[in-house]
Amino acid sequence: MSTEITKEFTFEAAHHLPSVGDAHKCSRTHGHLFRVEVTVGGEIDPIMGWIIDFADLAKAGKEVIGALDHRVLNNIPGLENPTSENLAKYLFDRLAARIHGVTAVTVHESPTSKCTYRPGGQVARPTTVQIGVSGLSFAAAHVLVFPNGEREPLHGHDYRVSVSAWIAGNGPDNAQEILRAATVDAIADLEHRVLIASKPAIGHVEVLQDVVKLVLPGETVVLPRSDCTLIDTTSTATEALAALIAQRIADSAAIADLKVSEVSVSLLEGTQDLVKSTVKC
């Protein structure tokens, strides 16, 4: 299983393109609200349930991308010709020097134009057809427990779910409906629940008739049993949830009948923190 997380940043800057000729509108100095997506890939930490803390990615992103805010990009060494392509590579090189596992940087120069720099390109898949579903969501609460005994307060998110699957040939006419139904089933017990990792990084979970107890070194968190869904993981971080949903979809009998070779789940927590988990079938 491969997993990627993506965090979005913004900055506002001016630039012009010196090589396009005087007749081109981009030869004139102008400005944009740039949106930048930074993607990090790697193995999910078995204790924490994440690849990297989004807070660490946010810090590095603000240091690198924030340095471009309210600047003329052409005046920055290395960005004398600040096309989206050159800007994406510029940011990738500097972010990769600070964060291990950076796999791609995408620069949105406008609401309809973007460029992704991903060294090494994509691995070619066998001849397959991609199908996908989007527009699904669930709302859930959770608490993250850390190995040092600390925990986050109980809090919640809206999660938006998108799924892609690759199938041999064209598949049946209702392949997309089958994938949507499998996804709905995979997230059904997460909707409007408190998500509890059954094997937390520290302490333990007790499931009683009416309550669930999260027993930690300094406290016990007690929740109504009817409010909770126990997840067979060490964490309820977004990476762990995306991996769980992807595996549930891949394991469903309906998906097996489609002869799916790969399932990829993108899980957006809030508005800026995106996780992508892929399962080979």
**Mind telling me the catalytic residues?**
26, 70, 109
Instruction: Tell me the C-alpha to C-alpha distance, in Å, between residue 103 and each of 65, 118, 179.
Output: 16, 6, 28
> What is the Cα–Cα distance from 12 to 110, expressed in whole angstroms?
11
Query: What is the DSSP code (8-state) at residue 71?
Result: S
Structural contact between residues 227 and 193, judged by C-beta atoms closer than 8 angstroms: yes
> What is the Cα–Cα distance from 88 to 83, expressed in whole angstroms?
9
Number of Cβ within a 10 Å radius of residue 159? 22
Structural contact between residues 79 and 86, judged by C-beta atoms closer than 8 angstroms: yes
User: Do the bridges between strand 30-42 and strand 102-110 make them parallel or antiparallel, or are there none, so unpaired?
Assistant: antiparallel
